[in-house]
A and B are shown apart, each in its own frame.
Chain A
Amino acid sequence: MHGFTDLSAARRTGHRAVVLLAAGSLLTLAACSEDAEDYPTGSLEMMIPWTAGGGSDLSSRLFASHLEDHLGVSITPANEPGANGSLGWGSLAQDSNDGYNIGLLTYDVLSNEVLDPQAPAIEDFDILGQYEEQALFFYVRSDSEYESAEDLEGSSLMIGTSGMGGIDHQAPAELEGELGVEWQYTPFDGHADGLTNLLGGNIDAFVFTPNIAAEYVESGDLRILGTFAEERVEEYPDVPTFAELGYEVAPIASFRGIAAPAGLDEDVRATLVEAIAATAEDEEYLEAAEQAGNTPFYRSGEDFEAYMNDLRPVIEGLLTDMGLAEN
């Protein structure tokens, strides 16, 4: 109300309003340029497109809590789950690109681009860096007749996934094509549900990242037949990669990184990229991530973006072959 009376008074006195407005806009401009230099001055919000308590949620909250130290301001996590992440990413893409809105990016952003007509594309974001990568492993029960990857030739399996067209559906579908067999897929409600059904004998196989099923491999309930990673994974030196066994599968892996709405100010972007890089090397963070069973892996913003751009045609081709996407 106050500003309004000012303006109506100004109309009576002639040009006072013009002066006021000009002064105001100058101040705002000054504040803007100052913002970019002093950035960050307030707290950031980090959008997490998954439900609270899940693997992605916990991993990104952990990363954010250490990123705070390197940015010098607090970061507030905000969960916006729904539609396999599309809802959260859609709202992040439309958020203000003032540097105070960042969000978690996972592999699903690439799948959604192909599958979901309403999903945003990675061009809608400023890609700031990757902080985690998890290899995918092929699990069967220990009482399964399949003891090695070679046994899968000529097999007919019912495989669980955590959603049609998701990464754990794409990976086995790739292998299926290489083996020239016919497998069937049933989507479950996330990994925990899939794991229960695999252990309970309702499905034959599931492709997980190792932290999900580690305790059941240790207890001897589950067996790993191979990994989709490019090279053998440190924790499981005896598990062969499908590539070394002669199957031509693209090395897809689950990843987590940080992005902001496209069009960040250059200085702001540099500040964020630096802080993310510093956090990814931070001993304290690495130790905490190790403790939580995460697998830290850093790529700079440019490398991360290039990596995702290389993956895009692969994923599109896969989903088209699977009959889930149109050319």
Chain B
Amino acid sequence: MDLLAILSAVFTPASLMWILIGALAGIVVGVIPGLTATVAIALLVPMTLDLDPLHSMLMLTGIFAGSMYSNSITSITLRTPGNPSGAVTIIDGYPLALKGQAGRAIGLAAYASAVGGVFSVLVLWLFSPMLASVALRFSPVEYFAVGILGLTTAVAISGGSRARALTAVTFGLVVGVIGTDPLTNLPRFTFGQSELRLGVPFLAAIIGVFAMAEVLRLAGVPGRKTRVVSSIGRVMPTRPDMRRTLRPVLRGSVLGTIVGILPGGGGSMASYLAYGDAKRKSKHPEEFGKGSIEGVAAPDAANSGMTGGAMVPLLTLGIPGDATTAVMLGALIIQGINPGPRLFESSGSDLVYPLFAGMLLANVAMVIMGLALAKPLASVALLPRTVLLPAIATLSFTGAFIATGQTYLLWITLIFGVIGYLMVRYDYPVAALALGLILGPILESNLRRGLMLNNDDPTVFLTRPISAGILGLAVLLLALSLFSTWRAKRRAAQQSSIPA
């Protein structure tokens, strides 16, 4: 690893420009409800075909990092998260804004996001080369185990009902078998419709459940009378505030990075976990929900920490751990780059390590721009819906259509928009559905391959050490999740049995 070569690849005018463009674009889409980082990246992927692979990835990771910060701005000022990951920030961010401290909350969110983002990129830089060298020996058996770990993560730490998360994941897996058999290339479950041989292309479905669904939802919500916070005040975080939130920010960064590394984790999960953790560890738990600065900082550090973590399985295994990295995988494949353990050997010095350095810079750029633009950004979400919704709907259809130009994809986007809308309405986790769609084909083909390579012996998944270890981790996660629910219930029962 030659540091000089890495730096010279990043410190070119073009690279720096794409980092800035990405971070800025991320900050802007982060405050627009319905335009998540996933959708923004999906829209841009076809346009990155002519870019240098490094520049394309610098821009896309910049969008990822930038949007994880700015989604908190509107949570704080309008009680409306720019995307689902920012929802947790409302709990303490909005009360702070009502007290006239919106700027203080936004400043802390920016500081926490930067710490989380930088920390996770450092972990990515240190950890992924090691994982890649181990992964060189991975066979389909191990890949199947990683896929199972992803599904388990999605169900275990969904933050809501486990049964609903399981239902959503399973639905995604079932949809994934429609189309063409991945091993024989023959049609299946197509009911004689030649268009169905495409199956349900991931990009169109994701845009549907994330963006179209949001358009449908917002169209049906009567204009809520939220007290709009117009006075933001000073955004530069103060020293005492930074000192007081340092511990929750660091813990949130670690948690978020771990959730990101686990395939199946996502920004929402990371921020829920970090919020709960900060409340448990805080010296002032009674302030939470009434405007605690720790309650703003911890989840923001976590969902930014997730961004670097999520790049670990993407780059080292070629397995996307969430919807955003799944779309990035498409961007890499378009460039003729196959992420996986050999990527570090073949394009380490001209893509992977410069990308890491660029992601660090993107986080720095994000803080500076984020603080400078906080005030104008807070009003972006105030765009009248008559402008916002048609624009997002149009963009969604364009994004679905542009990849292959088939009208069939527009139907997929629309149908999945309705499905996503119903899921949100009845409180089913959409991210879990996306994960089922992503991991389904990976699981199926590697299960079948693993069996073919080992004379159809199913015990091989438990006798190969790495595979057994990964599956063990999956079981452990599930057990932990069940245990914490049980403990919470017992506590609640004990408290209610105390005579008042």
Contacts and interface: CB of A to CB of B under 8 A. Distances in A.
A196 interface: yes
Contacts of A196: 136, 340-342
Grouping DSSP codes into helix (H, G, I), strand (E, B) and loop, the B interface class, with mixed when no group exceeds half, is loop
Kindly name the residue among A51, A53, A116 whose own CB sees the greatest number of chain B CB atoms within 10 A. A53
A197 interface: yes
Interface in A275-311: none
B338 A193 contact: yes
Contacts of B379: none
Contact of B185 (A54, A115, A184, A199): A115
Given A164-B185, A197-B139, A87 B334 contact: no
Nearest to A158: B453
B285 interface: no
A165 interface: yes
Contacts of B336: 53-54, 58
A65 interface: no
Interface string B325-344: 00000000111111011100
Given A84-B185, A163-B185, A188 B449 contact: yes
Kindly name the residue among B182, B186, B198 whose own CB sees the greatest number of chain A CB atoms within 10 A. B186
A201 B141 CA distance: 13
Given A116-B186, A184-B452, A192-B340, A83 B180 contact: yes
Interface string A71-97: 000000011111110110010000000
B183 interface: yes
Interface in B126-154: 136-140
Contacts of A58: 336
Nearest to B336: A53
B26 to A, nearest CB: 24
Interface string B42-78: 0000000100000000000000000000000000000
A186 B453 contact: yes
Given A90-B194, A189-B445, A83 B139 contact: no
Interface in B151-204: 179-180, 182-187, 194, 197-198
Contacts of B334: 51-53
B404 interface: yes
Interface in B353-392: none
B194 A80 contact: no
A190 B183 CA distance: 10
Interface in A185-244: 185-190, 192-193, 195-197, 199-203
A185 to B, nearest CB: 8
Contacts of B458: none
A155 interface: no
Nearest to B138: A200
A306 to B, nearest CB: 27
B479 to A, nearest CB: 31
Interface string A239-257: 0000000000000000000
A118 interface: yes
B84 to A, nearest CB: 30
A83 B197 CA distance: 7
A118 B194 CA distance: 8
A203 B342 contact: no
Contacts of A164: 183-185
A129 B338 CA distance: 31
Given A54-B336, A116-B186, A165-B184, A82 B198 contact: yes
B276 interface: no
B233 interface: no
Kindly name the residue among A83, A90, A188, A193 whose own CB sees the greatest number of chain B CB atoms within 10 A. A83
Kindly name the residue among A52, A54, A201 whose own CB sees the greatest number of chain B CB atoms within 10 A. A52
B405 interface: yes
Contact of B452 (A112, A115, A186, A193): A186
B486 to A, nearest CB: 41
Contacts of B186: 115-116
Interface string A155-176: 0001000011100000000000
Contacts of A192: 338, 340, 342
Contacts of B136: 196, 199-200
Contacts of A185: 452
Given A52-B334, A199-B136, A200-B139, A83 B185 contact: yes
Contacts of B198: 82, 87
B277 to A, nearest CB: 38
B182 A201 contact: no
A118 B187 CA distance: 9
Interface string B15-50: 000000000000000000000000000000000010
Given A53-B333, A187-B449, A116 B138 contact: no
A187 B183 contact: yes
A196 B138 CA distance: 9
A160 B406 CA distance: 33
Contacts of B194: 87, 90, 118
A201 B341 CA distance: 14
Given A52-B333, A186-B452, 20 more contacts: A51-B333, A53-B334, A82-B179, A82-B198, A87-B198, A116-B187, A118-B187, A163-B184, A165-B185, A187-B184, A187-B449, A192-B338, A193-B338, A193-B340, A195-B342, A197-B139, A197-B140, A199-B342, A202-B139, A202-B453
12 contacts: A52-B49, A53-B334, A82-B179, A82-B180, A83-B197, A87-B197, A186-B449, A188-B449, A196-B136, A197-B139, A197-B140, A202-B453
Query: Closest 7 CB pairs between A and B?
Result: A84-B185, A53-B336, A192-B338, A202-B139, A186-B452, A164-B184, A187-B183
